[in-house]
Amino acid sequence: MSLNMKTLTQALAKTAAVIEKTVQTTVQEVTGPKPLQDYELLDQIGSAGPGLAWKLYSAKAARESTRAHQYPIVCVWILDKKALSEARARAGLSKAAEDAFLDVIRADAGRLVRLRHPGVVHVVQALDENKNAMAMVTEPLFASVANALGDVENLAKVPKELKGMEMSLLEVKHGLLQIAESLDFLHNNAHLVHCAISPEVSPLLFGYLEVRDCINEDLICTEKIINENLTLIIIVVVEVWHPFP
């Protein structure tokens, strides 16, 4: 029986693809999501989200090939799925609620990448995950608003910059102006309505997003409070509705 080289080549190619995928999956399970492979964590700078479940770390590229020249230092967001499950169990919530929450995170992470506005945090590396954690990389941040206001839960060590920190009236006014400008963009350009703004929930990039009959892609809008070199980020969770009549 003659050997069909084309069939053999195709079979070898399929086998190689399966092996490559298996190796990538194994490496990811061992080393963590891709952002944790590509970036070296430096210090935890803050926490964010419901229950301040997200940990924020300053980080730098682990190798030259992944270096983001625009940002020598970036912010890596990490969500520990095991810790989330434990918190969910303590709160008496169902596994279905946890799964739905994680689905929202996955969906909104993709939308955030596509939204462009000065009030939107810049995503350097998109969300990636394995069975233990979720992670993504953004422009460098200072802390969440909740942290700046004194809520430092889920911080192993409070950074000295946050200890006793108080925002001046000028900073608050400037922050409100930034929020107003971003909300104007959110409503009039993206055709979105925000669900809530709060120091604890707002810094979360995603959360409780519900899509209705949208005319544009549903997206997340963020606002920044800028104080010279320091950036406090407020992220507005949004719902998508038809345009206002």
Q: pLDDT (tens digit, 9 = 90+) per residue, 33-57?
A: 999 999 999 999 999 876 788 899 9
What is the pLDDT at residue 20? 53
Q: At what angle do helices 95-114 and 81-90 cross, to 10 degrees?
A: 130
For residue 57, the SS3 value is strand
Contacts for 46 with CB less than 8 Å, ≥ 6 apart: 55, 56, 141, 142, 143, 144, 147, 155, 159, 162, 203
Per-residue pLDDT band for 59 (boundaries 50, 70, 90) equals: very high
What type of residue sits at position 177?
A: L
User: Among candidates 80, 43, 79, which has minimal Cα distance to 59?
Assistant: 43
pLDDT, average across residues 111-128 = 85
C-beta atoms surrounding 145 within 10 Å: 25
Helices (H) and strands (E) in the chain, counts: 6, 9
CA 225 to chain centre: 18
Label residue 136 by pLDDT band (50, 70, 90). very high
In angstroms, the first-to-last Cα distance of the chain is: 74
**Mean pLDDT, residues 132-147:** 90
Average pLDDT of the residues in 85-107: 88
Q: Give the model's pLDDT for residue 177.
A: 82
Dihedrals phi, psi of 120, to nearest 5 degrees:
-110, 130
Range with the lowest mean pLDDT among 38-47, 130-139, 159-168? 159-168
The string of pLDDT tens digits covering residues 196-236 is 566 764 443 333 233 333 333 334 443 343 333 344 444 44
**Across all residues in the chain, what is the average pLDDT?**
73
What mean pLDDT do residues 155-171 have? Answer: 86
Distance, CA of 216 to CA of 229 (rounded, Å): 34
* Average pLDDT score over residue span 80-84: 93
Using the predicted structure, report yes or no on whether residue 239 has a pLDDT greater than 70.
no
CATH H superfamily, domain 34-152+167-240: Phosphorylase Kinase; domain 1 (3.30.200.20)
User: pLDDT over 90 for what percent of the chain?
Assistant: 24
Distance CA 154, CA 143 (A): 13
Which residues lie across from 227 on neighbouring strands? 230
pLDDT(12) > 80: no
Q: What is the pLDDT of residue 230?
A: 41
Where does the pLDDT of residue 69 fall: very low under 50, low under 70, confident under 90, or very high at 90 and above? low
d(CA 118, CA 120): 6
- Cα–Cα distance measured from residue 203 to residue 180, given in angstroms and rounded to the nearest whole number: 17
- Bridge partners (DSSP) listed for residue 72: none
Question: What is the residue extent of each domain of the chain?
Answer: 34-152+167-240
Residue that has been written with the tokens 């108080």 in this structure: 166
Token output for 218: 């549903």
For residue 93, give the DSSP letter.
-
Residue that has been written with the tokens 């008496």 in this structure:
92
Residue that wins the pLDDT comparison between 17 and 104: 104
| Alpha carbon distance 204, 144 (integer Å) | 9
Which is it for strands 143-144 and 192-196: parallel, antiparallel or unpaired? unpaired
Which pairing describes strands 143-144 and 230-240: parallel, antiparallel, or unpaired?
Answer: parallel
Work out the average pLDDT over 2-11.
65
Choose between 133 and 17: higher pLDDT: 133
Does the structure show a pLDDT above 90 at 24? Answer: no
Q: Is the pLDDT of residue 146 over 50?
A: yes
* Residue 166, amino acid: E
